[in-house]
Amino acid sequence: MDILIALSPIVAVSVGALLLMLAEAFSKQRSGIALGAAVIQASGAVFAGAVWIYGLDALSGLDVLKPWLIVDRFTLFFDMLICLGGALASLLAGGYLREHRIERGEFYALMLFATIGAMMIASAGDTLTLFIGLETMSIGAYAMTAFRRGSQRSTEAAVKYFLLGSFAAALLLYGFALLYGATGHTDLAGLAASLKGNETQFPQLAVIGMLLVIVGLAFKVSAVPFHAWTPDAYEGAPTPATSYMAVAVKAGAFAMLMRVLFVAFGDERSMSWFAGWPPVVAALAVVTMSVANLIAGRQESVKRMLAYSSIAHAGYLLVGVVCATRGGEALSSVLFYLLTYTVSTIGAFGGLILCGSYGKEAVSYEDLSGLGKRNPAVALPLAFFCMSLAGIPPTAGFFGKWYLIKSAMDGGFHWLAIIALVNSVFGAYYYLRVLVFLYMREPAAGAPVAVPMKSGYVAAALILAAVFVVMLGLSPDSAIDVATKATIAVQ
């Protein structure tokens, strides 16, 4: 019974996904499927919170799950985060898919099973379990990208995503195979013990394996130069699928990255600045922030801009991962940043969805011209969430960046903190540009004008996301405390 309680978040989503598939197959009414998917994923978050409050110390027999699944506060935090992002994305899909005449029940099944894969990644203590979870999550994401069957752009984006994702998965799997050959272990704890105790018969093999694993992880978090799939996949996919990939898939990828780096490669030599992974990840962070912000500032498509901004946020998160090598609160700031990023990004994509309707969708900056004057209630959500992503106080995004840069300064990484701060200021340009077009520009004569849509599902998702942004902005301390408790397991 204790094991069932510990696994209740992923069990709730799994059982709910199967029941939703049955309901969709035997019911002619599809109006409630989106709400059902949102409720199922919200129940996963609720169960994870309940297990957290109940206390893992009160549960016995959890060692039988190791090393395949590890149930700790780190796992529970990401279960709550992934399910929160999935629930909000389901609500967005409930309005968007119906409005654009592409509502089919399999979309929600794909999303739910991708959520199960992401939750499995967050709890994986073995490379085999990790890879199974990764593929479960990725296959759902590939299919959702190609969900708009009549769109050539959607099909092209899905094929690119699938091919590049397959290559990255192969590199990751090959890296794990080399590590197994060098250490004789597939579990992360066993890998760590072998590397720490210098028990590897082929140390060169272990180094090559670690590099291949880092490359595979960098692809999954969309770090430059392994980001080529991201803009096309985000632009070609239906916007709810884009929002899901931007938050839930990214959260699962960062859970995997942190678990692997700080558990499997957490020994002194692997974390060395002379022969370990920190300088590699630091270089990825700098390049990712800088390149993504430069390209995002040149985009004319708002959706593509948000795609490149998602890449830039991955760079900021990698800064926190690097700073965590010296302890302190860096890792908790990464988890807090992921939380603020999730609710802000879902809100931004939701605001963009609300600004357009079937045949008159808001895509470019020009499509948003004058919307703030014509329909202030519709323009406000997009403007508000863009301000949070830009890091303007007192929104949640400001405190996410504040804690991340503060942790870099406390860890002695002043140069990384300065680069992150400069990039954050530059990134504010393209977010504030959205506000300029909303409130300070008028559409050109004869230019097509986006017509806002009406959807209770989208409105509900925006209200919930806004509540989280405001709460985290006004009282970030409680969320930081939760994130700090969650990081103990991997530090």
Domain count, the chain: 1
pLDDT at 31: 67
Distance between CA 102 and CA 31 in Å, rounded? 13
The answer to whether residues 20 and 91 touch, using CB atoms and an 8 Å cutoff, is no
pLDDT at 228: 84
Residue 360 three-state SS: strand
Q: What is the DSSP string of 361-420?
A: ---BTGGGTTHHHH-HHHHHHHHHHHHHHHT-TTSHHHHHHHHHHHHHHHTT-HHHHHHH
Distance between CA 348 and CA 387 in Å, rounded? 10
Strands (E), 252-325: none
Task: Indicate whether 288 belongs to any domain.
Answer: yes
Task: Indicate whether 379 belongs to any domain.
Answer: yes
Which amino acid is residue 205, in one-letter code? L
The answer to whether residues 102 and 147 touch, using CB atoms and an 8 Å cutoff, is yes
The answer to whether residues 405 and 420 touch, using CB atoms and an 8 Å cutoff, is yes
Distance between CA 391 and CA 399 in Å, rounded? 7
CB-based contacts of 177, cutoff 8 Å, min separation 6: 209
Instruction: Quote the DSSP letter at residue 444.
Output: P
H or E segment and range at residue 447: none
Q: How far is CA 480 from CA 64, 486, 487, in A?
A: 31, 10, 11
Among 19-28, 43-52, 292-301, the least confident range: 19-28
Domain containing 437: what range?
277-491
pLDDT at 151: 81
Task: Indicate whether 404 belongs to any domain.
Answer: yes
pLDDT at 76: 94
Between 147 and 444, the higher pLDDT residue: 147
- 446 pLDDT exceeds 70? no
Task: Indicate whether 290 belongs to any domain.
Answer: yes
Residue whose structure tokens are 């299919």: 143
| Averaged pLDDT for residues 236-249 | 92
Neighbours of 294 (CB within 10 A): 14
Distance between CA 82 and CA 326 in Å, rounded? 27
Q: Which two tokens stand for residue 256?
A: 């995997």
Instruction: Quote the DSSP letter at residue 248.
Output: I
pLDDT at 345: 94
For residue 199, name the pLDDT band (cuts at 50, 70, 90).
Answer: low
Buried-exposed string 195-206: b where 16+ CB fall within 10 A, e elsewhere: beeeebeeeebb
| Averaged pLDDT for residues 128-145 | 92
Three-state secondary structure readout of 320-348: HHHHHHHCCCHHHHHHHHHHHHHHHHHHH
- Whether residue 231 is preceded by a cis peptide bond, meaning omega within 30 degrees of 0, is no
- 251 pLDDT exceeds 90? yes
Q: Which two tokens stand for residue 240?
A: 């709810």
Among 12-26, 58-72, 102-116, 298-312, the least confident range: 58-72
pLDDT tens per residue across span 24-55:
877 766 668 889 999 999 999 999 999 999 88
For residue 440, name the pLDDT band (cuts at 50, 70, 90).
Answer: confident
Sign of CA dihedral 301, 305, 307, 308: positive
pLDDT at 491: 62
Residue whose structure tokens are 């806002």: 452
Distance between CA 371 and CA 379 in Å, rounded? 6
| Averaged pLDDT for residues 54-66 | 84
Residue 454 three-state SS: coil
Q: Which two tokens stand for residue 313?
A: 């946020």
Task: Indicate whether 292 belongs to any domain.
Answer: yes
For residue 58, name the pLDDT band (cuts at 50, 70, 90).
Answer: confident
Residue 358 three-state SS: coil
pLDDT tens per residue across span 322-359:
998 887 788 999 999 999 999 999 999 999 999 888 77
Counting residues of the chain whose pLDDT is more than 70, the rounded percentage is 97
Task: Indicate whether 121 belongs to any domain.
Answer: no
What is the Cβ-side half-sphere exposure of residue 372, based on CA atoms within 13 angstroms? Answer: 17
For residue 84, name the pLDDT band (cuts at 50, 70, 90).
Answer: very high
Distance between CA 341 and CA 309 in Å, rounded? 11
Task: Indicate whether 485 belongs to any domain.
Answer: yes
For residue 153, name the pLDDT band (cuts at 50, 70, 90).
Answer: confident
pLDDT at 280: 92
Task: Indicate whether 314 belongs to any domain.
Answer: yes
Which residues make beta-bridge pairs with 124? 69
- 360 pLDDT exceeds 80? no
Q: Which two tokens stand for residue 2?
A: 């204790």
For residue 230, name the pLDDT band (cuts at 50, 70, 90).
Answer: confident
Among 106-120, 322-336, 358-372, 385-399, the least confident range: 358-372
